[in-house]
């Protein structure tokens, strides 16, 4: 008993554990199911020709582009997941009908840019139980598809754009019980009857924008109690009639912009007390009366821009001022901001009066405003009356730019201040006439004025001001300690002025200043103590001045810009012992060879030094010797002619040296010895004719070397090469020289040293041929540039042996042919440039054999044919440039023309034109149709005609099974075109008698058909595609097959192969 009880307890415990685990697992899976999105299938061909664009929580997003009903029906038949959105884009469908959406769970259907002219009654029946959102965008429908919409009881959103709907009357839109959002746009709508919307009881949004409506009948919105959104923009309304809106008691959003309204009338929205958003932009309104906005006490956003308003009455906004957040009256013809116009707006956030003709801001125009953005820019303001702004606390932005302001008296702002104050592009001459008694201001912009002096009393005690912009003025003097009362100042911009001398008291002690821009002035001297007290200054711009001497810099300074001055020397005691300078730009001065020992003494943290264009003739190695942290030095555009041994001394952290444009004639052996960490060296644009082999000895870390734009003819002496000492070299630029041959020692090679040269540029040289010497030293090269040489031959096994090559540029040479073995083994090749040669033909198959090829440039050659081998690669995304070739447009171009017709982006094809025959000369390929090529119906590899339909099988069967009838012709096919296919027409003709025995039309969803009771004989079977509007498409010969209806079954090659395999297996058994 005890043992049995123990077992019972044991099994009970296991059962309880299993039950609990199962419940938890089911709960977890249920939760995961509810949270997890529906994912796209991993196989992209699952929905072909459609694609799954993205996953979603309620279903996947599917797009079908440039295809037809027949193909779409097969793709959607494979969908077993709910579809949140199905988008048919630029498809070839004239008539939408049939079972294409049958048994598919679709919530939103978008048909865009598809030339659907008719929607049949049964078009949406298959999706009626799930479709909630239907959008027919850009379809030239002849009216509303009333019968097709009738079954859609679940539809909530209907949008029709671009159809031909001139009148909307009762019954045109069927009674859709759930419809909430109705959009009929760009349909040429001119008239709506009063009962047109009567059956639609639940409308929330009504959108008739972009039509030709001039008025609305009374009662058109009757019983639309739930309608909250109304869009009548872009029509021809000339007035606002209260009867339009009187039935819309719940209206909260109304757009009447882009009409021809001249008068707002008396309270047109008197019964729309819930209205909170109103746009009247782009009309012809002249005046805003006191009663125009009466009863709109919940108004939040009001837009009346781009009208002809010359007057806004004093109480025009009185009804809305308690709750309105935005009032936008920009781009009108207002001449003043009147008294009381913006008084006591308790919730206002933005007032826009820009681009009017305002000359004066009247007394008490802005009163009791808080946290408001006020824009009065681009006007003609000259005057602010006293008390223009009263109790306007913490205006977020006051924009007065682009006016004619020369003064603002203190009495204009009473108990008012702003955060951002824009005064740029005005007529300010004296800053003391601009009141700055704004204790909360943070940014002041007074650039682009006519200021000459910044007076001592310009700024009172301002505790929050951190940015001042005085740039682009004519300032010649700054009052002593004028900025001393700015306790939080961080950035001062006084560039582009007329300052000539900086005295010690200009800036005083500003402990918070981080950046100071004094560039583009006329400064010739700086008193020693001018910047010394700016203890936090990090960046100082003094470039483009007339400085003749240096000054003491602040200890915290990181970046100093002194280029384009008249500096001639740096005294040893210039730099403070303690400093944090990281970047020093002294380019375009006149130091010559004055830089010597101690010139940079104390710059113990400097990393970047620019000394370009200073007439330096000898590398200043003594001046640089103490700079143990220097990483980058720029010495280009100097007059250095000789680089002697160890010309730069020993700089252990130097990474980059730029010696371009110096006129260097001689480089000694071991010229750069001591630069063990040098990574980049630029010797371009000099007059170098020779560089000795040991010149780069010691540059073991060098990765990039530029010796372009010189007169070099060789870089080796047949036994040793110039680059052998560069153990880390990766990028080598030898372009624009006079090299005429690649020698064995040109590139570094040693079987015991792992050189890693990746990028070589030998463009703009004089090479006529590439020999096998190229392979030596370039085993790892990935990018090779031989453009702009005189190459006339590519020898076999040269480029082909560069197994790592990814990009090669052979453009602008004299090549007239490319051998079949040139690129035969370059499996990693991605880009080939052959433009600007004289190529007449190509081994296209060899080019296309590289699976990684993504770009082939063949522009401006002499190619007459576009090769068939290119088409499948272009279809899969490879870019092949073909402009500038004398293309002969015959049937060989048929696959290309067919493919171009399917493309959306034609960036590489717009300039490809026909050279012959004469009837097509000069015409772009993108505009040519197949019919213009003059092709017949021949098929075969030469013309590669693409028929609409291809046979899968055709057999004559006799069986007793229920599925296959006795003595039946059975055929199966697939669709092979993107063009419009709406059904199939099948005919069977007796070859012996010439009599057509039978004919059948099958729906676009079918891919097989049987003709029963066919007697034995020889028949001609054709399957033709029929467009959705009923037109039989041209029949190609491959769409017809001759078959024998006898006991012997006609087998396709695949079936024959299967039977052979089965026979072999039986023999083995």
915 is in which domain, residue-wise?
Answer: 889-939
Structural domain includes residue 870: yes
pLDDT value for 860: 94
Q: pLDDT-based confidence at 665, cuts 50/70/90? A: very high
Structural domain includes residue 274: no
Residues 860, 959: one domain? no
289 pLDDT exceeds 70?
yes
Residues 845, 786: one domain? yes
945 pLDDT exceeds 60?
no
Mean pLDDT score, 791-795? 89
- Weakest mean pLDDT among 27-41, 112-126, 312-326, 392-406: 27-41
pLDDT value for 996: 72
26 pLDDT exceeds 50?
no
944 pLDDT exceeds 60?
no
Residues 850, 935: one domain? no
Q: How far is CA 947 from CA 101, 299, 928, 1029, in A?
A: 26, 63, 19, 19
pLDDT in tens, 201-244: 999 999 999 999 999 999 999 988 889 999 999 999 999 998 99
Q: HEC profile for 184-224?
A: EECCCCCEECCCCCCCCCCCCEEECCCCCCCCCCCCCCCCC
Q: pLDDT-based confidence at 960, cuts 50/70/90? A: low
Mean pLDDT score, 140-154? 94
Residues 1035, 962: one domain? yes
Token code pair at residue 850: 């590289």
Distance CA 797, CA 323 (A): 81
pLDDT in tens, 692-739: 999 999 999 999 999 999 999 999 887 889 999 999 999 999 999 999
pLDDT value for 257: 97
Structural domain includes residue 1032: yes
pLDDT in tens, 448-491: 999 998 877 777 788 899 999 999 999 998 887 788 888 899 99
Q: Are 174 and 198 in contact (CB under 8 A)?
A: no
Residues 896, 1012: one domain? no
Residues 48, 158: one domain? yes
pLDDT in tens, 410-441: 899 999 889 999 999 999 999 888 888 888 89
Q: Please give the share of the chain, as a percent, with pLDDT higher than 90.
A: 60
Residues 825, 933: one domain? no
Final residue of a structural domain among 148, 164, 180: 164
Q: Are 658 and 634 in contact (CB under 8 A)?
A: yes
Final residue of a structural domain among 118, 137, 164: 164
Distance CA 27, CA 50 (A): 35
Mean pLDDT score, 888-910? 73
Residues 915, 981: one domain? no
Mean pLDDT score, 569-597? 92
Token code pair at residue 1004: 């676009």
Structural domain includes residue 4: no
Residues 931, 999: one domain? no
pLDDT value for 1011: 80
pLDDT in tens, 1032-1065: 888 888 888 887 766 444 444 444 344 444 444 4
Q: How many domains is the chain partitioned into structurally?
A: 4
Distance CA 432, CA 146 (A): 73
Residues 914, 989: one domain? no
pLDDT value for 865: 85
Q: pLDDT-based confidence at 957, cuts 50/70/90? A: low
Structural domain includes residue 798: yes
pLDDT value for 1061: 45
Nearest 5°: the CA angle 265, 270, 272 is 125
Mean pLDDT score, 647-675? 95
Q: How many CB atoms lie within 10 A of CB 15?
A: 10
Residues 879, 791: one domain? yes
Structural domain includes residue 737: no
Q: Are 290 and 264 in contact (CB under 8 A)?
A: no
Beta strand pairing status for 205-207 and 181-185? parallel
CA-based torsion, 44, 50, 54, 60: positive or negative: negative
Q: Identify the three-state secondary structure at position 370.
A: strand
- Weakest mean pLDDT among 53-62, 348-357, 959-968: 959-968
Residue 103's CATH number: 3.80.10
Q: Are 546 and 518 in contact (CB under 8 A)?
A: no
User: Considering the chain, what is the average pLDDT of its residues?
Assistant: 87
Task: Give 35-88 as a DSSP string.
Answer: HSPBPPPS-GGGGTTEEEEE-BSSSEEEEEES--HHHHHHHHHT--S-EEEEEE
- State the Cα torsion 101-105-109-111 to the nearest 10°: -30
Residue 910's CATH number: 3.80.10.10
Over the Cα atoms of the chain, what is R_g?
41
Final residue of a structural domain among 906, 939, 972: 939
pLDDT value for 912: 86
757 pLDDT exceeds 50?
yes
Structural domain includes residue 90: yes
Structural domain includes residue 271: no
- Weakest mean pLDDT among 7-21, 776-790, 868-882: 7-21
Residues 1045, 1022: one domain? yes
906 pLDDT exceeds 90?
no
pLDDT value for 1016: 75
pLDDT in tens, 333-351: 999 999 999 999 999 999 9
34 pLDDT exceeds 70?
no
Mean pLDDT score, 317-345? 95
* Cα first-last separation, the chain: 62
Q: Is 734 exposed, middle or buried (0-12, 13-18, 19+ CB in 10 A)?
A: buried
Residue 964's CATH number: 2.60.40.10
Q: How far is CA 659 from CA 44, 564, 616, 708, in A?
A: 54, 19, 11, 12
């Amino acid at each position: 008993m005890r043992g049995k009880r123990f077992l019972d307890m044991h099994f009970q415990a296991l059962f309880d554990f299993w039950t609990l685990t199962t419940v938890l697992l089911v709960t977890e899976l249920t939760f995961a199911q509810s949270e997890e999105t529906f994912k796209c299938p991993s196989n992209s061909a699952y929905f072909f020709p459609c694609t799954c664009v993205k996953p979603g929580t309620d279903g996947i997003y599917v797009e079908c582009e440039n295809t037809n009903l027949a193909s779409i029906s097969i793709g959607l038949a494979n969908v077993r997941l709910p579809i949140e959105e199905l988008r048919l884009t630029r498809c070839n469908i004239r008539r939408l009908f049939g079972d294409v959406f049958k048994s598919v769970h679709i919530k939103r259907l978008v048909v865009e840019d598809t030339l659907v002219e008719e929607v049949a009654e049964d078009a949406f029946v298959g999706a009626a139980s799930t479709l909630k959102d239907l959008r027919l965008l850009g379809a030239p429908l002849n009216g509303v598809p009333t019968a097709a919409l009738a079954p859609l009881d679940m539809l909530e959103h209907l949008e029709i754009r671009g159809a031909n709907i001139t009148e909307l009357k009762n019954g045109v839109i069927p009674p859709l019980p759930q419809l909430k959002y109705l959009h009929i746009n760009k349909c040429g709508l001119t008239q709506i009857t009063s009962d047109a919307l009567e059956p639609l009881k639940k409308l929330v949004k009504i959108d008739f924008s972009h039509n030709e409506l001039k008025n609305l009948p009374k009662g058109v919105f009757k019983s639309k109690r739930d309608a909250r959104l109304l869009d009548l923009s872009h029509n021809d309304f000339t007035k606002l009639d209260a009867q339009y809106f009187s039935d819309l008691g719940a209206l909260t959003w109304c757009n009447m912009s882009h009409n021809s309204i001249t008068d707002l009338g008396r309270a047109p929205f008197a019964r729309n007390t819930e209205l909170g958003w109103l746009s009247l932009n782009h009309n012809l309104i002249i005046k805003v009366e006191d009663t125009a906005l009466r009863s709109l006490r919940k108004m939040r956003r009001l837009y009346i821009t781009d009208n002809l308003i010359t007057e806004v009455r004093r109480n025009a906004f009185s009804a809305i001022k308690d709750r309105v957040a935005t009032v936008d009256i920009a781009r009108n013809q207002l001449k003043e901001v009147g008294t009381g116009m913006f008084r006591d707006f308790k919730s206002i956030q933005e007032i826009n009066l820009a681009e009017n003709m305002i000359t004066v801001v009247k007394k008490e125009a802005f009163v009791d405003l808080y946290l408001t953005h006020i824009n009065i820019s681009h006007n003609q303001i000259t005057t602010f009356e006293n008390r223009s702004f009263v109790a306007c606390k913490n205006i977020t932005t006051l924009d007065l730019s682009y006016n004619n302001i020369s003064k603002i008296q203190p009495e204009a702002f009473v108990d008012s201040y702003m955060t951002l104050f824009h005064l740029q592009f005005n007529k300010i001459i004296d800053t003391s006439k601009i009141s700055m008694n704004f204790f909360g201001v943070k940014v002041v912009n007074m650039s682009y004025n006519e200021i000459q002096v910044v007076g001592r009393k310009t700024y009172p005690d301002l505790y929050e001001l951190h940015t001042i912009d005085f740039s682009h003025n004519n300032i010649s003097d700054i009052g002593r300690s004028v900025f001393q009362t700015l306790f939080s100042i961080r950035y001062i911009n006084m560039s582009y002025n007329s300052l000539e001398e900086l005295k010690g008291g200009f800036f005083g002690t500003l402990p918070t200043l981080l950046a100071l821009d004094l560039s583009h002035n006329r400064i010739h001297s700086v008193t020693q103590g001018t910047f010394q007290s700016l203890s936090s200054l990090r960046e100082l711009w003094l470039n483009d001045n007339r400085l003749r001497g240096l000054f003491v810099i602040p200890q915290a300074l990181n970046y100093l810009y002194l280029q384009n001055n008249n500096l001639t020397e740096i005294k040893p005691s210039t730099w403070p012992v303690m400093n944090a300078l990281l970047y020093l730009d002294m380019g375009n001065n006149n130091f010559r060879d004055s830089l010597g020992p101690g010139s940079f003494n104390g710059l113990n943290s400097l990393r970047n030094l620019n000394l370009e264009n200073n007439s330096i003739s000898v590398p200043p190695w003594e001046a640089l010797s103490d700079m143990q942290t220097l990483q980058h030095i720029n010495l280009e555009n100097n007059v250095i002619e000789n680089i002697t041994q160890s010309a730069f001394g020993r700089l252990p952290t130097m990474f980059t040296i730029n010696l371009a444009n110096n006129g260097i004639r001689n480089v000694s052996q071991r010229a750069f010895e001591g630069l063990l960490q040098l990574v980049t060296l630029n010797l371009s644009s000099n007059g170098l004719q020779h560089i000795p082999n040991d010149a780069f000895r010691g540059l073991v870390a060098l990765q990039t070397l530029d010796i372009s734009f010189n007169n070099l003819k060789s870089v080796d002496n047949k036994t040793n090469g110039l680059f052998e000492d560069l153990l880390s070299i990766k990028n080598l630029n030898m372009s624009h020289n006079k090299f005429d041959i690649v020698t064995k020692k040109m590139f570094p090679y040693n079987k015991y040293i792992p050189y890693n040269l990746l990028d070589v540029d030998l463009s703009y040289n004089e090479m006529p041929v590439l020999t096998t010497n190229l392979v030596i030293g370039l085993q790892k090269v990935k990018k090779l540039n031989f453009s702009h040489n005189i190459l006339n031959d590519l020898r076999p096994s040269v480029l082909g042996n560069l197994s790592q090559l990814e990009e090669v540029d052979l453009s602008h040479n004299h090549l007239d042919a490319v051998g079949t073995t040139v690129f035969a083994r370059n499996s990693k090749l991605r880009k080939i440039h052959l433009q600007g040669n004289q190529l007449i033909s190509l081994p296209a198959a060899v080019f296309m054999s590289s699976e990684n090829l993504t770009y082939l440039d063949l522009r401006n050659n002499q190619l007459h044919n576009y090769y068939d081998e290119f088409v499948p690669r272009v279809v899969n995304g490879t870019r092949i440039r073909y402009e500038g070739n004398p293309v002969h447009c015959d049937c060989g171009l048929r696959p290309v023309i067919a493919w171009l017709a399917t493309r959306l982006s034609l960036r590489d094809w717009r300039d490809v034109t026909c050279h012959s025959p004469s009837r097509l000369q000069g015409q772009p390929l993108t505009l040519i149709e197949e019919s213009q090529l003059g092709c017949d119906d021949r098929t075969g590899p030469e013309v590669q005609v693409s028929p609409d339909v291809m046979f899968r099988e055709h057999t004559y069967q006799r069986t007793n099974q229920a599925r296959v009838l006795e003595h039946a012709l059975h055929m199966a096919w697939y669709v092979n075109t993107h063009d419009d296919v709406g059904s199939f027409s099948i005919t069977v003709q007796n070859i012996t008698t010439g009599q057509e025995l039978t004919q059948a039309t099958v729906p676009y969803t079918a891919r097989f058909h049987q003709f029963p009771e066919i007697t034995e004989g020889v028949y001609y079977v054709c399957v033709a595609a029929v467009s959705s509007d009923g037109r039989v498409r041209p029949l190609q010969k491959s769409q017809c097959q001759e078959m024998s209806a006898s006991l012997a079954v006609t087998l396709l090659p695949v079936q024959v192969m299967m039977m052979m395999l089965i026979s072999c297996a039986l023999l083995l058994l």
